[in-house]
Structure 1
Amino acid sequence: MDVTAPGTGSGTVDPHGLAAGSRPPDTHHPLDLMDLFADDFVRDPYPWLDTLRAQAPVHHDPRTGLWLVSRHRDIRQVLLDPAAFHPDNAQHAATPLPMAVLRVLAKAGFQLPPALANNGTDSHPGLRRVVSGFFNARRVTAAIPVIERIAEDLLDDARARLDADGEYDLFTSFAQVLPCRVLMQLLGIDGIDGIDPATLIRWSDASLELFWGRPTLERQLELAELVGEFHQWLTRTVNSGTAPTDSFIAALARHRLPDGTPLDTATAVSACFFVFIAGQSTTGQLIATVLRQALAEPGLWPRVTHEAALAEGWVEEVLRREPPVTTWRRVTARPVDLAGVTLPAGAQLLLMLMGSGSDPDVFTEPEQMCPSRSNIRHHLAFGVGRHRCPGASLARTEAAVALRVAARTLPQVRPLAEEGEPPMLGLLSFRAPARVAVAGPAPGAPAAAAASQ
């Protein structure tokens, strides 16, 4: 993320994200009414996504200056061709940062050089291997008892609160906290500098909102202070040399770049910044969506405790239809033809990952949740190719364990009837329920019936 000047980053793009010398198309399209940040899009993006795929699979969005790519095969083509489509803009601010906000970040020493998601250089494979080492299949399998124990601890409190108050929010006290506590243990940062899950969650969420949201200037200033605190803590921790030898931070300190030099502090901090956010915030968003959708599906809640692989299948369908990471960005390295549209060098692309999961050319009856779908893992929720999410296995496992333990511990909960629409997180690349409110069984309802409502 470039914080040296206003806009979406440095280079040959203008404030609208268009390649230098390029202009938005002169013709108007009904899709020009679409607002990716508006409440109607956040709550029900599917009609827009369906229209994009059918009518304009590569569509220029005049509001953001981004080219929206919506078909599964086109997104896959982009992700598998890093020579033509660079990741350099993956973490640029979605909303231009005014000078006052940039000053707050600069005062904190904030900088994020290319490390992981935005790194197209030859240093990326080695850094990715460091990350993957902490999230490989062996470590994830070994972590399942830890995930279960933490989930049970959190849900014991939920059960007590439900008995006392009659309602409970599974997002803020369970879905958010579980992946943060798991990540702290897996990365060996539990107890470092007295840091606690609530602080890491607050910093991580602030980072998402500042760089992927559309906050007001006043809100941007508040968020920048928190992001600056996060970056300063990461820098102190990386520089301290006191991290446990088996921790992620110590592994970065031991890492050597392709030319044999040690990894610099700024890049190590950048790697930590990305991993901490992806490992806790986006996984928490996935868990929240999995729980909300499972509670709403008739009869599913009691079944996941005794039907083998049902929780895993349900998680996979949520990833396909309603993933927490809804979009990702790329920039063209040269002029390129994509789905019959000629894009200039420097064109800013927004890959509609969420829409690709409902592509009828790939998924039969995509609007239906089908945990036994034969091609259930053909979605692009974790990306594909050299930048595929290294924490995919952990995220899948945590979400499935969270669903099973919640259904087992709280067998009779039901969605809480609330006035108005529940809050939703709706950022450029992230979407999830910001509340998963549940209540105890309806008065007089048999246990089995209450559990399936």
Structure 2
Amino acid sequence: MTPQALDLPASAISRLDLFGEGFVSEPHPWLDTLRTEAPVHQDPGTGLWLVSRYHDIRRVLVDPAAFHPDNAQAAVTPLPVGVLRVLARAGFKLPPALANNGTDSHHGLRRVVTRFFNAQRVAAAVPVIERIADELLDAAQRRLDATGSCDLFEAYAQILPCMVLMELLGIDGVDPATLVRWSDASLELFWGRPTPERQLELAVLVGEFHQWLTATVSAAPARPGSFVEALTRHRLPGGRPVDVETAVGACFFVFIAGQSTTGQLISTALHRALVEPGLWSRAGGADEQGLAQAWVEEVLRREPPVTTWRRVAAGPVALGGVDLPAGAQLLLMLMGSGSDPEVFDAPDRMCPHRENARHHLSFGVGRHRCPGASLARTEAAVALRAAARRLPDARLAGPDEQPPILGLLSFRAPQRVRVAV
């Protein structure tokens, strides 16, 4: 599915619905129009100020004193009283920990996370990723042989990063499919536009997730060498140990970022590789060892799984020629920034080995840059290379050239990659 290069009139901005089918299915024409005609635009549907140009977005991300991260994990759709009661009964709280933390505790907590995802650990994880990928592809091949088709999203892309993360962080005693369900429910509840009835269903799952995280963090002693043990040994400013609620908040973010968004990246990389002429066969070949990595980087630039992120203006500020009041809620259009022609030549074309591909902002920049960026890149490249090698004759099955798309405020990816041979 290649987004069409359509031109939208500036007047179309008034019809923009960030959750609507038109924007979710083909966001780039809307993003191009925003960037050209209204680079800082207040969306009447959400009240958020949409920031679309690369340099404006980068300015916001590198200045945490002027633009706070406090709203990064706040629910986009207000939670009704019944939903709040469900969450309260589960003890659900998200104190400042990582993505939503603008306090002096952020640096130390972030350091705990980055130690688990540094270059040495990621390199050592490659055999683990390859082993799990092979196991999942064995099952996918059996399904293909038996039925003639297989959904690589459900059977492979969605589950692979969860299983990898569980091994790397020392997590066991829970089914990976359950973790995926909990994580996806959290994304939908806090970044989606669900109905009140659906919010109640999601709140039950999010409550279960939080209770499991709380029990895992509270269990003594923590598994030696595990992520939880590292959190419990960490000391906050002033020498205080990490409290359970903060540790749970850190785990909540790491699990969602480490499994759901990485699975979305893998899904998009696979789908785009299957529709790009000649790419699939080359990605699995031995002659172009770096092609899978280069393809993943272009996907991150053009079709990132994390499409937007939020910030709050600490005080009155001028941005992109617009005067914003203190407290203005900003939505940084990360996907659109990767197609800014002031930074990227021919941005609508997928060009592996693009010279400045890594200049994209899909992992953020500055003190809140994603600490798992290297692992996500590596997992997606290994996943693409392994699938293309094991299933060289795979092709998208029928209507899956235009699959259903996850369309949350900050997350977007194909929800099905059904292949046949």
The bucket for the TM-score relative to the shorter chain is over 0.9
Q: Is the 8 A contact 2:316 2:324 kept in 1?
A: yes
Paired residue type of 2:272: Q
Q: Does 1:100 align with 2:82?
A: yes
Unaligned runs of 5+ in 1: 1-27, 441-453
Pairing partner for 2:70 from 57, 77, 88: 88
Paired residue type of 1:102: L
Give 1:98-247 correspondences, 5 Å limit.
98-189=80-171, 191=172, 194-247=173-226
Q: Does 1:290 align with 2:272?
A: no
Pairing partner for 1:355 from 312, 336, 348: 336
- The aligned counterpart of 1:50 is 32
Structure 1 residue 240, shift from structure 2 partner? 1.1
Paired residue type of 1:128: R
- The aligned counterpart of 1:264 is 243
CA distance in 2, matches of 1:420, 1:410: 18
Structure 1 residue matching 2:381: 3-state secondary structure: helix
Structure 1 residue 362, shift from structure 2 partner? 0.4
Structure 1 residue 29, shift from structure 2 partner? 5.2
Paired residue type of 1:168: C
CA distance in 2, matches of 1:163, 1:414: 14
Are residues 420 and 291 of structure 1, via their aligned partners in 2, closer, same or farther at CA, if it must alter by over 3 Å? closer
Paired residue type of 1:68: L
Q: Does 1:346 align with 2:327?
A: yes
- The aligned counterpart of 2:346 is 365
Give 1:68-87 correspondences, 5 Å limit.
68-87=50-69
Q: Deviations over 1:58-97 (max 9, x none)?
A: 0010000000000000000000111100000000001000
CA distance in 2, matches of 1:420, 1:366: 22
CA distance in 2, matches of 1:147, 1:219: 34
Q: Does 1:336 align with 2:317?
A: yes
Q: Is the 8 A contact 2:275 2:401 kept in 1?
A: no
- The aligned counterpart of 1:318 is 299
Structure 2 residue matching 1:438: 3-state secondary structure: strand
CA distance in 2, matches of 1:56, 1:177: 39
Are residues 358 and 188 of structure 1, via their aligned partners in 2, closer, same or farther at CA, if it must alter by over 3 Å? same
Pairing partner for 1:251 from 221, 230, 247: 230
Q: Is the 8 A contact 2:233 2:241 kept in 1?
A: yes
TM-score (norm 1): 0.89
Structure 2 residue matching 1:360: 3-state secondary structure: coil
Structure 2 residue matching 1:117: 3-state secondary structure: coil
Paired residue type of 1:412: D
Structure 2 residue matching 1:130: 3-state secondary structure: helix
Q: Is the 8 A contact 2:396 2:420 kept in 1?
A: yes
Equivalent residue pairs, number: 410
Structure 1 residue matching 2:370: 3-state secondary structure: coil
Give 1:302-451 correspondences, 5 Å limit.
302-304=281-283, 305-306=285-286, 307-418=288-399, 421-440=402-421
Are residues 419 and 280 of structure 1, via their aligned partners in 2, closer, same or farther at CA, if it must alter by over 3 Å? closer
Percent sequence identity over aligned pairs: 73
Structure 1 residue 196, shift from structure 2 partner? 1.2
CA distance in 1, matches of 2:155, 2:138: 11
Paired residue type of 1:408: R
Structure 1 residue 243, shift from structure 2 partner? 2.6
Structure 2 residue matching 1:116: 3-state secondary structure: coil
- The aligned counterpart of 1:21 is none
CA distance in 2, matches of 1:420, 1:373: 25
Are residues 239 and 357 of structure 1, via their aligned partners in 2, closer, same or farther at CA, if it must alter by over 3 Å? same
Q: Deviations over 1:360-415 (max 9, x none)?
A: 00000000000121101010000000000000000000000000000110010101
Structure 1 residue 30, shift from structure 2 partner? 3.6
CA distance in 1, matches of 2:281, 2:177: 31
Q: Deviations over 1:310-359 (max 9, x none)?
A: 00000000000000000000000000000110000000000000000000
CA distance in 1, matches of 2:223, 2:163: 17
Paired residue type of 2:403: P
Paired residue type of 1:241: A
CA distance in 2, matches of 1:423, 1:373: 29
Structural RMSD (CA): 1.0
TM-score (norm 2): 0.96
- The aligned counterpart of 1:19 is none
CA distance in 1, matches of 2:400, 2:146: 22
Q: Deviations over 1:106-159 (max 9, x none)?
A: 010000100000000000000000000100000000000010000000001111
Paired residue type of 1:93: A
CA distance in 1, matches of 2:356, 2:251: 33
Unaligned runs of 5+ in 2: 1-9
Which has more helix, going by share of residues? 2
